[in-house]
Amino acid sequence: MSRTCQVGALDATGHARVITEEVPPLRKGALLVKTHASLISPGTELVAAKKARLAPPSDPGAPKPFGYQSAGEVLEVGEGVSEFKRGDRVACLGGGYARHATYAVVPKNLCARLPDNVSFEEGAFAHLAMTSLYAIRRGEPELGEYLLVVGLGLVGQMAARLGQIAGMYVMGWDTVALRCEVARKWGIDDTTLIAKENEAEKAKAFTRGLGFDMAVMAIGGDGTKALENVRNVMVLSPDTNRMGRICLVGGLIFQCQGGAGIGNVDLRGCSRTGPGYHDEPWEHGEYEYPSAFIRWTTRSNMEFVLRLISEGRLNVKTLITHRIPLERIDEAVAAHIEKPETTLGTVILMNHGA
C-alpha cells in the first residue's frame, strides 16, 4: 500500500479540503486500518469552522485534520495485538486517530470488530452512539419513566432510542422540523417542534400530568433559556420543588440559580464514551481495568452499541441523510453549517480505487 493517505482537514476560513499526509507509524498496541467510511459529528467537529466562516483569522495557518469516528478493515497489527488480525472489519474511534482519512492508525482498545451484518457506514456511528449511551447510563433510567431529550441531532436521536430500549417513554424537542420527522420515523414516542408547538402543554399531556423524570440536553451554545424550560416540565413535588435528573452532553453553556432556583433537580455532566478514552496506556492495551469493578469501559460500550445495531434495535441507517465522497467533504461541512435544517447524518466515503 501507499505510505501516504488522503485526509479531510479544516482551514482557517472554515472550509474543508483534502490534504496528503504520511500514514502514521504503526506502534505497539495499535492497528493500521484501511478506512471505508467515517461520520461527521457536526456539534463537536464544526464549531470552530462555523466561527471561522463568520470571522476568518488574520493568520491562515495550516489546515487541521479532523474527525474521530470511522470504520474499515485491518491491514496490519502492531506488537502486542492478538485479538485482531489482517482482514478484520472494525469500527474505530478517537480524536487524532479515526479521522476522515483513507488510512488510520488506531489503538486496539478504541477498535471493535464489526458484526457480519453491520456495514462500514453503520460502524462509523459507534463513537456518537457510545456518547449517547453514556448520557443515558449517567441518568440512571428506570422502567416506565418519562425521558425528555432536548436537541435531536445525532447524539440526541440515539439517546432517545437508547432511553426507549431502557424502558422509558421518550419525547424529543428540537427547533428543526427534519429532526423531529426523523425521530418519529424511527419510533421515538413523540416530539415537539420548539417555537411552533407549546412545549409545556405537550409535556403535560405526554407525561399524564406527572412531568419528566429525566432529561438529556444534547445541544451546544447558550442553553440558559433551554435549561429553564426543561426545569419547568420536570416532576413537581407537593412542596413545589422540581425534581429529576438532567444529563448534560455536548458544549452547552448556561447560567442557573442554585437552591430554590433549580429546586431538587440533579444536573449531571456526561463526558466522553466511558472509562478509558484518553487514557493512552489503556487505549494501547498496556493494562486493563478490572471488569469486576468497571463493567462498562469505552471498549465494552463500543461492543455493546455495535450489538444493538446488529440486532436492529439501534437502526442508525435511519439517521443517514447524505453520503459524500471524501474529495467533496467541503460540501458536507457547508451543508451542516449553512443549511442545518436539511441534513442530519453525513457519512464520508473513501475511494480506494480498484
Cβ count within 10 A of residue 79: 9
Give yes or no on whether 4-124+274-349 and 129-269 have one common fold: no
Question: What pLDDT score was predicted for residue 207?
Answer: 98
Question: What pLDDT score was predicted for residue 354?
Answer: 57
Domain range annotation of the chain: 4-124+274-349, 129-269
Question: What pLDDT score was predicted for residue 117?
Answer: 98
Question: What pLDDT score was predicted for residue 2?
Answer: 66
- Which ranges in 232-339 belong to alpha helices (H)? 280-283, 298-310, 329-338
Alpha carbons 34 and 231: distance in angstroms, whole number:
46
Q: Which residues 6+ apart lie within 8 Å of 27 measured at CB? A: 78, 105, 284
Pick the CATH number of 129-269 from 3.30.230.10, 3.20.20.70, 3.40.50.720, 3.30.2270.10: 3.40.50.720
Whole-model pTM: value is: 0.95
Pick the CATH number of 4-124+274-349 from 3.40.50.10860, 3.40.50.300, 3.90.180.10, 1.20.1600.10: 3.90.180.10
Determine the distance from the C-alpha atom of residue 170 to the mean position of all C-alpha atoms in its chain, rounded to a whole number.
18
Alpha carbons 29 and 101: distance in angstroms, whole number:
20
Residue 333's nearest CA partner among 6, 60, 14 is 14
Alpha carbons 282 and 333: distance in angstroms, whole number:
33
DSSP label at 13? Answer: T
The pLDDT tens digits along the chain (354 residues) read: 568 999 999 999 999 999 999 999 999 999 999 999 999 998 888 988 888 888 877 777 789 999 999 999 999 999 999 999 999 999 999 999 999 999 999 999 999 999 999 999 999 999 999 999 999 999 999 999 999 999 999 999 999 999 999 999 999 999 999 999 999 999 999 999 999 999 999 999 999 999 999 999 999 888 899 999 999 999 999 988 999 999 999 778 888 777 777 889 999 999 889 999 999 999 999 999 998 999 999 999 999 999 999 999 999 999 999 999 999 999 999 999 999 999 999 999 998 875
